[in-house]
Amino acid sequence: MQGQGDTGQNLLFLTDDQLRKGIEAMFFAYRGFTADPDRILATRGYGRAHHRAIHFIHRSPGTTVNNLMSILGVTKQSLNRVLRTLIADGLVLSKVGTRDKRERHLTLTDDGAALERALSDAQRDRMRAAYRAAGPAAVAGFRQVLEAMMDEDLRRHFAALAERGV
């Protein structure tokens, strides 16, 4: 199907140039997607690691440190640096597990939930505008592409969160 450009008509035979454009679009889209939250986080001296932790603690209240490490794909040392700050600043509570005293269960405080809401609202606004501009078929296709790019273990985490509907 020659001559159809980047319209998606012949997706099985994408050229290197079409793939490069897609990769670059992902880079620039990610910059836009993170720009508003980055500004909010910067006012507190936080970075994207703090944002990811807050997001997933919100999505799974009571999650364990080990589960959060698995979702984020980070070491205990790097996660503990982030959590210490969030706990000290009164945004996250850490409670010892009732069944296993070695576990720490994480929840957001009211202030943590307010920050999560501000960060998520900014991203939802951007995503909602993009989805409206692209239309329902593009939204469904975009989600399929994103899920296909995920490693299997991350796809399982994603599916589990989607099932919870939190």
d(CA 146, CA 86) in angstroms, rounded, equals 30
Report the range of poorest mean pLDDT among 3-7, 90-94, 102-106. Answer: 3-7
Q: What is the pLDDT of residues 107-153, one digit of tens each?
A: 999 999 999 999 999 999 999 999 999 999 999 999 999 999 999 88
Q: Is the pLDDT of residue 8 over 80?
A: no
pLDDT of residue 102: 81
Name the burial class of residue 65, with classes exposed (0-12), middle (13-18) and buried (19+) by CB atoms within 10 angstroms of its CB. Answer: middle
Name the DSSP class of 105: E
CA 44 to chain centroid, in Å, comes to 20
Long-range contacts, stretch 136-140, CB < 8 angstroms, 24+ apart: none
Q: Which domains does the chain have, with CATH numbers?
A: 15-134 (1.10.10.10)
Question: How is residue 19 written in tokens?
Answer: 């793939």
- The DSSP-derived string for 87-106 is HHTTSEEEEE-SS-TT-EEE
Q: How confident is the model at residue 7 (pLDDT cuts 50, 70, 90)?
A: low
pLDDT of residue 97: 73
Are the C-beta atoms of 4 and 13 separated by less than 8 Å?
Answer: no
Selection from 46-50, 69-73, 154-158 with the highest mean pLDDT: 46-50
pLDDT of residue 23: 93
Give the amino acid at 45.
Answer: G
| Averaged confidence pLDDT in the chain | 89
pLDDT of residue 4: 43
| Average pLDDT estimate for 26-39 | 95
Q: Is the pLDDT of residue 163 over 60?
A: yes
| Average pLDDT estimate for 3-23 | 72
Q: Which helix (H) or strand (E) holds 72?
A: helix 65-72
